[in-house]
Amino acid sequence: MKLEELRFGTELLKRGFASMQKGGVIMDVVDAEQARIAEEAGAVAVMALERVPADIRKAGGVARMADPEKIVEIMEAVSIPVMAKVRIGHFVEAQVLEALGVDMIDESEVLTPADEQFHVDKSKFSIPFVCGARDLGEALRRINEGAAMVRTKGEAGTGNVVEAVRHMRAIMGEIRALQGRSTQELIDRAREIEAPADLVIESAKMGRLPVVNFSAGGIATPADAAMMMQLGADGVFVGSGIFKSANPQRMARAIVEAVSHYDDPQVVARVSRGLGEAMKGIDVHTLREDEVLQYRGR
Amino acid sequence: MDARIGVLALQGDVSEHIRAFEEALRAAGCNSPVVPVKKPEDLAPLDALAIPGGESTTISRLIEKNGMYQPLSEFEGGIFATCAGMVLMASEADDPRVRTLGRMDMHVARNAFGRQRESHEVRLDVAGLDSPFPAVFIRAPVATRVGSGVQALGAIDRGIVAVRQGKHMAFSFHPELVGDLRLHTLFLKHLGR
């Protein structure tokens, strides 16, 4: 076989990678030990961080990409894909993660934004990106920039699922509202939500987002995870919810099973028994406006 | 042509497999729906099962948790497996984190090419097809050794990437992602339904 026949970093490979994560749980971890616990519990991937979002909130200051040393430590500990976060618009942090060989980059509102006008031009990278969104317009703008996967923003580090629910209902509801419209009406709608017309038309035709759509931002229990799946998520990210709970190992396993059997209340009930305390959590309404992470990037 | 086909639906690209098999069946003049399989009793009515791509550690764990290990080891229909599915079909994997089903006499290496940046597309010659197949390798495994009862249908420098043993077929790559149904059609033919 001739080497020039191989093609790397194509759209199909990026979106295909995201498809392989479906029905799975991606867990935030801060060291090799947590990564191994996540893998053993059945996580489909881990998100390598210096701090989980709940601790990023507490620490304050500027939150940046994790130390490459930390990311490499986690990559060496597990066989499942390793993701890591960059600040919104920080394309050099993204170049660094690509050079390290992480499997997917999360351009994340959990970190302090580096650019208030532009997101990273994700089409320039050979590894796939996931980005947060609160509604259909935001999701399609990210896909247009090259995101291979979308996730709800929710409100990270709160252990409160209400914002993830709001965002998932918004995205799914807006897609349902596209059904039965003429092409002309879809183009008009695209203008209203500031999204590319071809992606609005594609979403209408498919009855879903054109890429894999996960839920994130506040999932803290197996029932939270199963609810997001029933609302239409293809899988979930769990951030602080696992390693801020009383028994991370059991919580991790329980959420993995609840996502796989999200439509079977018997299973969700069984895995939810005796898990110990979930993370304490924050009432989103008590946050000051500058503490609300989902407003970052649009 | 009538075949009842299920897709193991614990984790992975399940809907892609369902869609591809429904199309392949329709092309063969059969309109049976392809069904998701989550429990041992779901296997009973099936002529064939697809084991999808996904994370083999996750699917392996969920197979055990759901009491599916024994039923899958004994399932009498044909099995069509891709990527993580191929790892699970093997008699042995290079990684103790995955408990393989031992349905095909072969050894597999997980993530044989490396990480996602080494994922690639290539036109691949596959025995039984008259022109190359668009093979999509995503953090793919390869077979490093196959037994005498296993036919290698395709290979690259790293190892064997397409295999057949009786009614079973397994691929390192993802025929379900590319809209080319020739390998699905070949599988249905071997199934003899």
Digit-coded pLDDT (tens) for B161-184: 999 999 999 999 999 999 999 999
From chain A, pick out residues whose CB is under 8 angstroms from the CB of B121.
6-7, 10, 12-13
Q: Are A94 and A111 in contact (CB under 8 A)?
A: no
Q: Which amino acid is at A74?
A: I
User: CB within 8 A of A270, min separation 6: which ones?
Assistant: none
Averaged confidence pLDDT in chain B = 96
pLDDT in tens, A275-295: 988 888 898 889 998 899 999
Averaged confidence pLDDT in chain A = 96
As a whole number of angstroms, the distance between CA B97 and CA B111 comes to 13
Given a cut of 80, is residue A229 above it in pLDDT? yes
As a whole number of angstroms, the distance between CA A27 and CA A52 comes to 10
Identify the residue whose tokens are 């947060």: A132
pLDDT in tens, A146-190: 999 999 999 999 999 999 999 999 999 999 999 999 999 999 999
- DSSP letter at B39 equals S
Tell me the three state secondary structure of residue A53.
Answer: helix
Interface test with A, best of B17, B41, B55, B60 (most A CBs within 10 A): B55
Q: Are A94 and A107 in contact (CB under 8 A)?
A: yes
A44 → closest Cβ in B54, B123, B174: B54
Q: Domain B5-190: state its class.
A: alpha beta
Identify the residue whose tokens are 């616990």: A37
ipTM score assigned to the predicted complex: 0.97
Direct distance between the N- and C-terminal alpha carbons of chain B, in angstroms, rounded to an integer: 6
A279 vs A20, residue with greater confidence = A20
Q: What pTM was computed for the model?
A: 0.97
Q: Which residue of A has its CA nearest to B11?
A: A23
Identify the residue whose tokens are 């030990």: A33
As a whole number of angstroms, the distance between CA A102 and CA B186 comes to 36
Q: Are A289 and A295 in contact (CB under 8 A)?
A: yes
C-alpha dihedral sign at A91, A97, A101, A105? negative
A85 is catalytic: yes
Residue A1 has what pLDDT? 47
B95 → closest Cβ in A79, A128, A260: A79
Tell me the three state secondary structure of residue B186.
Answer: helix
- Other C-beta atoms closer than 10 Å to the C-beta of A61 total 7
Question: Considering only CA atoms, which of A4, A9, A16 is closest in space to residue B179?
Answer: A16
